[in-house]
Structure formats: structure tokens, C-alpha cells
């Protein structure tokens, strides 16, 4: 059983790792790449930088610093987290049990620009299989995505319905294991329905309509679960039942505590100023708060 698992290797995650390591908690950091820092060509408004550096260089320096302090780093994709009093973190490298978790994988992703996806949010379009699978028992459902995150969501849905199809929206599948779930690789033209989702219209495999225009084939679905890319902090928090703000960020206290005991969040996923300085502060606070939480648990045991 780990004391603390930190998800994310950016400024917030590394700062949390440094503070928990110095607190003798032996943290485990799960990292899935550079994230938003990759877009920073020059950083020159951060303390201690005489000359501007790239986001990539700052990212590499942070990882090296954490490893030099003895932080264990696993390169893997987090697929989901279950539990409440203690947690099981499911990743592409295996499952890890822990007393506490710090979410630090950056901000929420925007939805894809598919007509109908925003109009039907809460009316058949969902972003959390664990949350909403119950409503689709024995019904036809679609999962939008092409990675292991999408496959994980599809497997969750298969527990309540055998009729699950993964739609990659024109992208090549990137699943790391074989599976029996149907996959459709055509590009999606629109999500359609009246009051609720009724299915997906595809751009390819077109047939002529009566008026001479072209229309894509229609595939019925009662629900569409969006699982693009990898599971970010917001997606994970939503799956676990942590409260989000009206803007879709993770709600935290000043100590970076979420509404679930033992679950903390830091960085862009909490909203506000999207700057390295803010992420470093919140990561540090999350690490300190996680240490306090673990010590209190030990005192009660």
C-alpha cells in the first residue's frame, strides 16, 4: 500500500512529489508526458530564471530533480481510480493501492467539435462511464475515443450492456491489448436525436439522399460516452464522485483538499491562474496536506 500516489509530472505534480518525499512519505509519481508545458516556447516570468527556457526544458529539469530526491516515477496512463477510504489506481502498467492521491494532470480538455455533442450533454452525451452506466442497462451505447482510456470506459459499460461500440472518429485505434469490443473507425458527422441522443451520423460510407445531396450512414445509440485521449484530472475526479465547480474545475479547499477525504488536486485542474507559479504553489500545498492527512490516519490506527 502506497502512502501517496501523485498523478502528473508537470509543475504541480513535481512540487507535490518534492514535498511528500521530503516529508518521508516515499511518493509514487505516475507520469504520462509533458502536457501543457509542451506549448510553452519560452518561459521568462518564473522566479530564478536569468534566461528564458522552454516548457520542455523546465519539464525535464523537474523530473530530474524529483528523481534525484528519490521519487519513484512510473511512465503510464491512468485509466481510473476506485475506492473511497483507500484507493486503487488503475493504469496501463498495473494497479496500485494507496492511502491518498494527488491529481495534477492539468486542465480539462475541450469537447471535440462534433455537431450535437454539446447540445446533448446530459441528454445522452456523458463523460463518465462509472457515473452513468447504470442508466444504459441493456441499451445501445457508443464510446468516442481511440486509446486505452476509451477502452477502459467501454469495458465499464460492458458490465451493464453487451451493446457497446467504440467510435474512433477517423483516428487509428491505439489500444494496448486485444479486446472483443466492436470498433468503428469512420469519421463522425454529427450526434443526432430529438430530446435525447438517438445515434451517430457518419461522414464516410455515404449514400445519395432523395434530393441528390449526400448523407452519411446512421448508427443508432442511446448514449455517447466521450473518452478522448487520456483521463485527465477532471475526468478522474468526476468518476470518483468529487465535486466540480460551475466551470468544470475540481473544487478544492485552500489546503487543496477535494470533497473526497484523501483525494487532493493541484494545478490547472483547479482553475484560476493557469501559470507555473500557481501550479507550483498548489502542488506544494497538496503535498503538505497529504502528509498531514496520512499522519492523522496513522495516529487514529
Cα separation of 105 and 266, whole Å?
8
For cell 451493446, name the residue: 163
Specify the range with the lowest mean pLDDT, choosing from 91-100, 116-125, 165-174.
116-125
Q: DSSP character for 117? A: T
Q: How many residues does the chain have?
A: 301
- Return the percentage of the chain with pLDDT > 90, whole number: 66
Distance of CA 1 to the CA centre of its chain: 23
* β-sheet bridge partners, residue 82: 88
pLDDT tens for 189-226 read 999 999 999 999 998 644 444 444 556 799 999 999 98
Name the grid cell of 200. Answer: 451517430
Give residue 208's pLDDT.
Answer: 44
pLDDT tens for 48-90 read 988 989 989 999 999 999 999 999 999 999 998 999 899 999 9
Cα separation of 195 and 156, whole Å?
26
pTM of the predicted structure, to 2 decimals: 0.79
> Taken in order 258, 292, 27, 40, is the CA torsion positive or negative?
positive
Cα separation of 45 and 51, whole Å?
10
Amino acid at each position: 500500500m502506497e502512502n501517496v500516489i501523485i498523478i502528473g509530472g508537470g509543475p504541480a505534480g513535481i512540487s507535490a512529489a518534492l514535498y511528500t518525499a521530503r516529508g518521508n512519505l516515499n511518493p509514487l509519481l505516475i507520469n504520462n508526458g509533458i502536457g501543457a508545458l509542451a506549448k510553452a516556447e519560452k518561459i521568462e516570468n518564473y522566479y530564478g530564471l536569468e534566461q528564458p527556457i522552454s516548457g520542455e526544458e523546465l519539464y525535464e529539469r523537474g523530473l530530474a530533480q524529483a528523481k534525484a530526491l528519490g521519487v519513484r516515477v512510473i511512465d503510464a496512463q491512468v485509466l481510473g481510480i476506485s475506492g473511497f477510504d483507500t484507493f486503487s489506481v488503475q493504469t496501463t502498467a498495473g494497479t496500485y493501492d494507496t492511502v491518498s492521491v494527488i491529481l495534477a494532470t492539468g486542465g480539462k480538455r475541450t469537447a471535440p467539435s462534433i455537431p450535437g455533442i454539446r447540445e446533448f450533454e446530459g441528454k445522452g452525451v456523458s463523460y463518465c462511464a462509472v457515473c452513468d452506466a447504470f442508466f444504459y442497462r441493456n441499451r445501445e451505447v457508443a464510446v468516442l475515443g481511440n486509446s486505452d482510456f476509451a477502452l477502459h470506459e467501454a469495458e465499464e459499460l460492458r458490465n451493464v450492456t453487451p451493446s457497446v461500440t467504440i467510435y474512433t472518429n477517423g483516428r487509428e485505434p491505439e489500444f494496448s491489448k486485444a479486446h472483443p469490443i466492436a470498433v468503428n473507425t469512420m469519421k463522425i458527422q454529427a450526434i443526432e436525436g430529438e430530446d435525447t441522443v438517438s445515434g451517430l451520423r457518419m461522414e464516410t460510407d455515404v449514400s445519395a439522399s432523395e434530393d441528390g445531396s449526400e448523407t452519411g450512414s446512421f448508427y443508432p445509440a442511446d448514449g455517447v460516452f466521450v473518452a478522448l485521449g487520456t483521463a485527465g484530472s477532471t475526468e478522474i475526479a468526476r468518476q470518483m464522485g468529487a465535486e466540480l465547480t460551475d466551470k468544470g474545475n475540481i473544487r478544492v479547499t485552500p489546503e487543496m483538499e477535494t470533497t473526497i477525504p484523501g483525494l487532493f488536486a493541484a494545478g490547472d485542474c483547479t482553475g484560476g491562474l493557469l501559470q507555473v507559479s500557481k501550479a507550483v504553489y498548489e502542488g506544494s500545498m497538496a503535498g503538505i496536506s497529504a502528509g498531514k492527512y496520512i499522519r492523522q490516519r496513522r495516529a487514529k490506527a
